Amino acid sequence: MRLYPVTIMGRTLTVMLVGIALVAGILLAQLYWERQALLTDIGGWHVVTRITGVVQKIEKTPAALRSSVLRTYQGPGFRIAWSPQSPLVTSPLRWSKRLIRQALIRQLGTISREDVRIGMGELGGRHTLQSSDRRGRMMHGQEGFARRAIIVSIRLTDGTWLSFTTPLAPRQDVLGLRFFWLGALGLLIVVVVSVVAVRRATAPLQMFARAAERLGTDFNAQPVAETGPREVSRAAKAFNLMQQRLQAFVKNRTQMLAAISHDLRTPITRLKLRAEFMDDDEQRQKMLDDLDEMESMIAATLQFAHDDVIGEPVTNLDFATLVRDCARLDNVNCTLPDELILAGRPLALKRLVNNLLGNALRYATTVNVELFATDDTITLSIFDDGPGIAEDMLERVFEPFVRGEGSRSRETGGVGLGLASVRTIAQAHGGDVVLTNRDSGGLEARLTLPKG
């Protein structure tokens, strides 16, 4: 039987409940210690018990004998006075004094809160009871050496009062730094344990998110570890299954196109051989041109299928040098840094840059290339002075077999797979390509790639 929860909700609730229980335990323990320690205002529980014993004894003693009996209970640190009136007036008590009163009521059992009065006073050097109000004024008594004391006055059943005076014992600083740091330490422990536990519980989710991001640029990425809470484990299994199906789909598509390309080359070759025997030179040349175009379309389609760059590994390359090598053509002005390191697939990126430059040079006379980088992004802009593209076609030209100009001539636009291949390669690297018509005329092709 597994005691530790296997779901994210169960683990999160467990962490919260354990933390709450720990904090509650610390607070309850602190409250208990404070309640016990505050009784040291009158010397501890043994003084409360002593007062209780005296009251119970005097209640059973005749009035004529009470004074002599009381003398037997008195001592240097414990004074008792019996009088018709209490030396203390009724006043609201602070919570520490209320604690003492509650302890006496529990011990005696037969008195009410109005029968107990507690105040502060002084214990004189001649064993004379003195008391003072909250402002420190002397209420009665004789002069002499005095110590701060606590006064407990209890009304007997006959209406008279017993007043007990005992010096304040050295009080523990229960509300001081010791308990403050104890509570702070407990909360710190709860916070640290909670953070560590929640982080461990959510770590599989972070790994799963990174794997999902990686899949967008690399179909051959390693499968996700099928560990962690039950929900994450099931999601990881589903993710790995989806990745396997995508890999199988892309592989089957590429193999299918390769097979079609191979099978079509044979009849195309036979048609070329037969065309050579045609007597009409003009018709023979037209047929050969059509067959050449078919071969080019097949080759371009097969290349487009391979542009998902599944098999090419990622390496660190100098993208500035790659662009410089591709731009060694007439009428291409380059503004490039000396070096710009990028993690990518060299052959695919070279094909991307060549396609963008080829499109620009096909329709323009002047082409400018700018390459720059920010903290996490690389931007390649290719400007031309050509006719541009209609606004409604700026996105459509990235679709397979869609061309920006109306003719189907290979001389003016290929087969319509160049820009589709460019965007596929860019997105496989985590970037994108956009086309924009320039205000001064011409077109700007902007490629953005992440550095990592």
Q: What is the mean pLDDT of residues 115-123?
A: 84
Instruction: Please tell me the predicted confidence (pLDDT) of residue 287.
Output: 86
Question: Which of 125, 119, 153 is closest to 137 using CA atoms?
Answer: 119
pLDDT reported for residue 189: 82
Domain boundary among 137, 167, 197: 167
Confidence of residue 419 (pLDDT cuts 50, 70, 90): confident
Same domain, 185 and 283: no
Are 248 and 277 members of one domain? yes
Q: Which of 167, 190, 222 is the last residue in one of the domains? A: 167
Residue 278 has pLDDT above 60, yes or no: yes
Residue 370: pLDDT band with limits 50, 70, 90: very high
| 94 assigned to some structural domain | yes
Residue 51 lies in a domain: yes
The answer as to whether 224 is a domain residue is no
Q: What range defines the domain where residue 241 resides?
A: 230-304
Q: pLDDT: is 193 or 321 the higher one? A: 321
- Please report whether residue 411 resides in a domain: yes
What pLDDT shows up at residue 122? 76
Instruction: Give the pLDDT of residue 435.
Output: 94
Is 287 in the same domain as 316? no
Q: How far is CA 386 from the centre of its chain?
A: 50
* Mean pLDDT of the region 420-430: 86
The domain that holds 445 is classified in CATH as 3.30.565.10
pLDDT for the residue 153 = 92
Backbone φ, ψ for residue 224 (5° rounding): -75, 140
Same domain, 316 and 403: yes
Q: Is residue 222 assigned to a domain?
A: no
Query: Does residue 213 lie within any of the structural domains?
Result: no
In a domain, 432, yes or no: yes
Instruction: Determine the Cα–Cα distance for residues 382 and 299; give it in Å rounded to an integer.
Output: 26
Over 50: is that where the pLDDT of 9 sits?
Answer: yes
Residues 131 and 179 placed together within one structural domain of the fold:
no
- In the predicted structure, residue 255 carries a pLDDT above the cut 80: no
32/180 same-domain check: yes
Average pLDDT of span 331-337: 87
Long-range contacts of 385-390 (CB under 8 A, 24+ apart): 385/441, 385/442, 386/360, 386/442, 386/443, 387/363, 387/442, 388/437, 388/438, 388/441, 388/442, 388/443, 389/435, 389/437, 389/443
Domain boundary among 283, 304, 325: 304
Whole-number Å distance between alpha carbons of 290 and 175: 97
Q: Do residues 327 and 397 make contact, with C-beta atoms less than 8 angstroms apart?
A: no
Q: Residue 131: which CATH number?
A: 3.30.450
Same domain for 281 and 400? Answer: no
Domain co-membership, 293 together with 321? no
Is-above-0.75 flag for pTM? Answer: no
Which of these ranges, 38-52, 261-275, 318-332, has the smallest mean pLDDT? 38-52
**55 & 133 share domain:** yes
| Confidence at 35, pLDDT banded by 50, 70, 90 | low
| Structure tokens belonging to residue 231 | 């929900």
Residue 51 and residue 159 share a domain:
yes
346 and 440 share one domain:
yes
We report the CATH number of the domain holding residue 290 as 1.10.287
**pLDDT, position 437:** 94
Name the domain count of the chain: 4
320 shares a domain with 429:
yes
Residue 394 is assigned to a structural domain of this protein: yes
pLDDT tens digits along 381-400 = 999 998 989 998 999 888 87
